[in-house]
Chain A
Amino acid sequence: MSGCILRATAVVKRVPTTEGDLTILEGIDLAVDAGAQVAVVGESGSGKTTLLSILAGLDLPTSGDVWLDGDEITALDEEQRARVRARSVGFVFQSFQLIDSLTALENVMLPLELRGQRQAREDALGFLERVGLSARTTHYPLQLSGGEQQRVAIARAFASGPKVLFADEPTGNLDTATGGKVADLLFELNREAGTTLMLVTHDAALAGRCAEVITLDAGRMQAPREAAP
């Protein structure tokens, strides 16, 4: 074990509504070791995505602490959290989140360019090749299929060499066959890079590929269980 890379303590998330505060997350405590693969499962509305956003530093909890790669991100401002994200985090989203006005290559180059990396182009080309899209580097997202778009997104996520990869329903927008291939790619790259994976899904099969599964029910964590081998 290389130690704990992600830890949440007593995380609570409430949002104000017209009928009073709505509790989305309540008393979340978790610790994730570096290199672990964790799936967060639960029904729609159980708070999975909110938890992921808070753990990744995209959103702040109402109370509680989150530590990510040695930083207490709940004590940082947006400026500092962005730096932590740049340094340590990669994302794969259900809706791909590619930038329409950029080519596949440019989308992959973006995180490298943001870090001021000189070899951005070469590195990005390498990752596109790794996801099997070296023939489509100059295509725009709208010219790619859903599966291809998600592969570009995966290439982008790994391009920056993240320590933790957050994936939000990465196969949710894809058909079963394509989804399966994308998931294979994701796990393969993850293994190669030794990245910690936090995966939100309601697909039991996908969750089953993770070593650890956290189940959320109405914002509360159910007792953790080991995934079936």
Chain B
Amino acid sequence: MSLSLALRLALRDWRAGELRLLLAALLLAVGAVTAVSLFVDRLQRALVAESATLLGADRVIDASRAVPQRFRDLAAARGLVVADVVRFPSMASSDATGRSRLASVKAVTPGYPLRGTLRVADEPFGRGQRTDGLPARGEVWLDSRLFPALGVKVGDAVAVGYAEFTVAAVLASEPDRGGGFLEFAPRLLMRAEDIPATRVIQPGSRIRYRLQVAGSADGLDSFHDAIRNELAPSYRWRDVRSANARIDNALERAESFLLLGGLLTVLLAGVAVALSARRYARRHYDHVAVLKTLGATPREVQWGYTLVLLIIGVAGALAGLILGGLAHLGIIAALHGFLPVSLPLPGARPIWVGLMTGFICVLAFGLPPLLALRGVSPMRVIRRDLAPSAASAMTYGSAAAGGLALLVWYSGNASLTAWALAGATVTVSVFAGLALLLLRGGRALGMQAGSVWRLALAGLHRRHRENVGQIVIFGVAVMLLLIMLLVRTALVDEWQARIPEHAPNHFVLNVAPAEVAPVEALLKARAGYDGRMFPMIRGRIAAVNGVDAGAWQRQRREPHDQPGEPRDGPGGRGRPGIRRERNLTFLADLPDNNVVVEGKWWSASAAPSASLEQDYAAALGLAPGDSLTFDVGGLPLTATVTNTRRVDWDSLQPNFFIILSPGALDGQAATYMTSFYLPPERRPFLNELLSRHPTVSVIDVEQIIAHLRRIIVRVAQAVELMLALVLCAGLLVLIASIQSSRDSRLKELALLRALGGTRRLITGALVAEFAALGAFAGIVAVVGAEITTFTLNRFVFELPTSLHPDIWPVGPLFGLLMVAAVGYLGTRRLVRTPPATALREV
């Protein structure tokens, strides 16, 4: 069959309305996937950009020595912009007041920060205003806390090393402040060009160098490739993810979820394409039989209809791309106000994803039913009951393989795909069995019901093979929706629980034992504090089981410490070096957010005991039963490891790798720390706290929390949007499925009408039949959703699992209403068609 004849066949079929459903299914499949991909792509780019502000750049290179000029040249050659940041601790002092204070100096070059903005305030602890500027040469901007500590105000002079500077502004916030404990001294921001005048940089000084880099993704990758071999061991390449584990978690889960949603959309759309292709094929059995009596060969039939499908595929994919593009603009418009002002432009991938979805949908889901047309016997013109033998296992095998390839390619995540598919396979088999049972039960029930329901349930039973199929399809659609709903709820809840309202946004450190009571009292009175003071003392592990720690670690072939800045304290998971000095604490009770995973927590009267964070213990090869000797301020202290703990590093609570039992540190001079929530408008309280307790340090993590919260809100919105799209795809499947059952209902309805069934009775029976079908599908869906959600939460999202009795009525009710409504709308015309016309059509 020639292309032109195939084109004419396609056109004639289109005119007859035969291809509309197939085209609509394709259009929506491609449209939905393209819209989601485009939106997700742009949102992801926006999220990454947003997160990049936490880094102050797209990428940074951290080092303990100056970054070579070569790196800057290489970056510039790739169109990237760079800025230098040098950080070091130094005393800042005021000649006027005679006071001095250790400051964490940050010296920057123009351009800093490459991402995000600095905020400055007019007075200490005031609200900051965005600024694009930097301190001029000879000027510094000071953290609010330095003002009371040094007794200065804006306009006064402060000295750093040998140089004197004018205090030009209050530094309210900087994007890349970080929450680490390394820098809990207050910030002093100056220009890198002024460093030589201070003469503070001497051999052996503790200085951190950082090169900020920003620009195109390609440029960044190329830059990274160019310097990759020169990085280790002195330079460390960091991106948003390696810089912030907490954001990484949220982003990764959001991506997983959006992918899952996209996957489901593809699956549902594929099912819709398959259903409409099957209907198209069925309606063409006679058509093909006639063609064959007219001399069309099986091969011509096969190629002819493959061509028709490809024509539809091209048309559907192209129109779908346009629809998807428009839809994603609609989504962006609808979310206007929630989204970043300007989303970055998308890459090419969403377009490819859309096109490939179209073609693979056509080939994997649409083609197999059409290939069966090749086998239609020309004898069908004489004996209409001759249907072609079902497509071979190979046809469906290739369809499954194509579908699988699409899913894996689309998700780029084999394990997620495997879980989804395994779940789907088990679910479909279980569904089929359950559906049969329900149909049998329904039939028995129907015998006792009124005429409408009897007719409906008898109808269900009569076409039970077809109906098992439909219940499975509806069930899967409803189940997927429920899953999305459940997983979404779990994800969003979990994210919100991670950063609850009034999460502690300030840490207080360095509280002397004598100050504990007054500081607690002050916090209680002014900030509603109800937290806990943790004693803290610096110490390191000197020996393990009597063997020197260094020797012991070498024996065990420890993984290397990565070069660069180790992270410590809340939220940071440092890679442990065994002899590194750490914050030790001693506690009687297990802190919140900690769970003992091995061994037991100590009782009050135990011998000196130690509790280790599980990953830390595992990395060092330590386990309960090991004896650790600590060096605490030069004094040895031996304790036995009695347990390991799982710590929720994301909790924004003080967390410790090592906790000792209360008696162990007796007689050692500890300081105390705690965290508390301070509403932003009460920040001036910090001034009072620091004036009354000048040796106490306060770390403000409000900015980080606000940032995280913004990201989470945005991600949650994206997730909700996904849910709506999956709902659309589910509806499409419903419509396709009801349409495909339309033909077999037509004859029956016509007969009923001819036999004198009133329109009312028939409509009632039809709606009742669909309602029962929907309710059965809903029951089946709830069972499937619970099983799948359990599996997904447990193995993919690593969220807590539980049953959800609140959705148990939702499934059947939703199924009932949706299927009855869509079923009624889809078959309304059948009821209105005069019986004579209907009978002739059969």
Interface residues of A (CB under 8 A from B): 49, 53, 56, 58-59, 78-79, 82-87, 89, 91, 93, 95, 97-102, 106, 110-111, 113-116, 142, 156, 160, 168
Contacts and interface: CB of A to CB of B under 8 A. Distances in A.
A114 B382 contact: no
B841 A110 contact: no
B13 A101 contact: yes
B295 A113 contact: no
Given A85-B293, A97-B381, A111-B295, 11 more contacts: A49-B382, A53-B382, A58-B381, A79-B297, A82-B292, A82-B378, A89-B293, A100-B841, A113-B8, A114-B300, A142-B841
Nearest to B15: A101
A-B pairs with lowest CB-CB distance, top 4? A86-B295, A101-B16, A82-B297, A85-B295
Contacts of B293: 56, 58, 85, 89, 91, 97
Interface in B286-327: 286-287, 289-300
Contacts of A99: 286-287, 290
Interface in B1-47: 1-2, 5, 8, 12-13, 15-16, 18
Contacts of B382: 49, 53, 58, 93, 168
A142 B840 contact: yes
Contacts of B381: 58, 91, 93, 95, 97
13 contacts: A59-B379, A79-B297, A79-B299, A82-B298, A82-B378, A87-B295, A91-B294, A100-B16, A101-B16, A102-B16, A114-B294, A115-B295, A142-B841
Contacts of A98: 290
A58 B378 contact: yes
B295 A82 contact: yes
Contacts of B295: 82-87, 89, 111, 114-115, 160
Contacts of A82: 292, 295-298, 300, 378
Nearest to A86: B295
Nearest to A159: B294
A83 B297 contact: yes
A86 B291 CA distance: 10
Nearest to B16: A101
Contacts of A111: 294-295
Contacts of A106: 12
A71 to B, nearest CB: 13
B280 to A, nearest CB: 11
Q: Which of A84, A98, A102, A142 has the most CB of B within 10 A?
A: A102
Given A82-B296, A86-B294, A58 B5 contact: no
A203 to B, nearest CB: 18
A110 B294 contact: yes
A100 B12 CA distance: 11
Contact of B296 (A56, A95, A114): A114
A97 B299 contact: no
Nearest to B17: A101
A87 B292 CA distance: 12
A101 B284 CA distance: 10
A113 B5 contact: yes
A86 B840 contact: no
B639 to A, nearest CB: 85
B18 A97 contact: no
Contacts of B1: 114
A11 B803 CA distance: 69
B291 A101 contact: no
Contacts of A53: 379, 382
B294 to A, nearest CB: 4
Contacts of B287: 99, 101
B589 to A, nearest CB: 79
Interface in B801-842: 837, 840-841
Contacts of B290: 97-99, 110
A114 B291 contact: yes
Nearest to A103: B12
A77 B807 CA distance: 58
Interface string B490-512: 00000000000000000000000
B296 A86 contact: yes
A122 to B, nearest CB: 16
Q: Which of B8, B15, B382 has the most CB of A within 10 A?
A: B382
Contacts of A102: 12, 16
Contacts of A91: 293-294, 381
A62 to B, nearest CB: 15
A179 to B, nearest CB: 19
Contact of B298 (A59, A78, A84, A101): A78
A93 B840 CA distance: 17
Contact of A85 (B294, B298, B377): B294
A101 B378 contact: no
Contacts of A113: 5, 8
A111 B379 CA distance: 17
A53 B382 CA distance: 8
B196 to A, nearest CB: 86
Nearest to A87: B295
A84 B297 CA distance: 10
A116 B2 contact: yes
A101 B18 contact: yes
B5 A97 contact: no
Contacts of A58: 293, 377-379, 381-382
A116 B299 CA distance: 15
Nearest to B13: A101
B307 to A, nearest CB: 14
A78 B288 CA distance: 14
A160 B381 CA distance: 18
A95 B290 CA distance: 12
A25 to B, nearest CB: 14
Nearest to A106: B12
A106 B8 CA distance: 10
A98 B297 CA distance: 19
Contacts of A156: 294
A82 B300 CA distance: 10
Contacts of A79: 297-299
B122 to A, nearest CB: 78
Contacts of A83: 295, 297
Contacts of B294: 85-86, 91, 110-111, 114, 156, 160
Nearest to A84: B295
Contacts of B300: 82, 114
Contacts of A78: 297-298
A216 to B, nearest CB: 16
Contacts of A100: 16, 841
Given A58-B379, A114-B5, A114-B291, A97 B286 contact: yes
A86 B15 CA distance: 27
Nearest to A91: B293
Contacts of A101: 12-13, 15-16, 18, 287
Nearest to B299: A79
A114 B292 CA distance: 10
B839 to A, nearest CB: 11
